[in-house]
Amino acid sequence: MNLTISKSDTLGVFAGTLCILHCFATPFLFVALAGSASYGGEAPLWWLSISYIFLGISFFAVYRSTQTTSRSFMKPLFWVSWIVLSFVIVNEQFEWLELAEMFSYLAAFILVGLHLYNRRYCQCESDHCCVENE
């Protein structure tokens, strides 16, 4: 059972870290593309779609981690963090609100931190996780 829990949290940490690196690299991509004559002022579609790929992977990591965590307080923390991250990513595309980049970094860091915490402290001892017994 611990192997399954560890894998979902490891996947969540991996996806979150790549998401943070992706967010960090985006401004540099714009600077690099600015020198190109064919640059149209927007990031390429493949680059924008990476955010949604990370979001999908993180959904499955959060889903599995909430199923297997031994702490009931982790479930809402995972889902609220994922929803905030999703909103920030979708908001970047549709520009409903003007949000600082800090929010995307913060949401991703919190989600990575939750996966690290869950991986370290919220392991089940058997195949039957006892969230209700807490």
List the domain boundaries for the chain.
2-121
The residue that leads in pLDDT, 30 or 61, is 61
- How much is the average pLDDT of 54-65? 87
Question: Mean of the pLDDT values across residues 113-125?
Answer: 78
Closest residue by Cα to residue 50 from 3, 93, 103, 95: 93
The dihedral region occupied by 99, where left means phi > 0, alpha psi between -120 and 50, and beta the remainder, is beta
Q: CA dist 78 to 50, 97, 105, 111, Å?
A: 21, 23, 16, 7
Give pTM, 2 decimals.
Answer: 0.72
- Residue 87 confidence (pLDDT): 94
* 3-state secondary structure at position 117: helix
Average pLDDT, the chain: 75
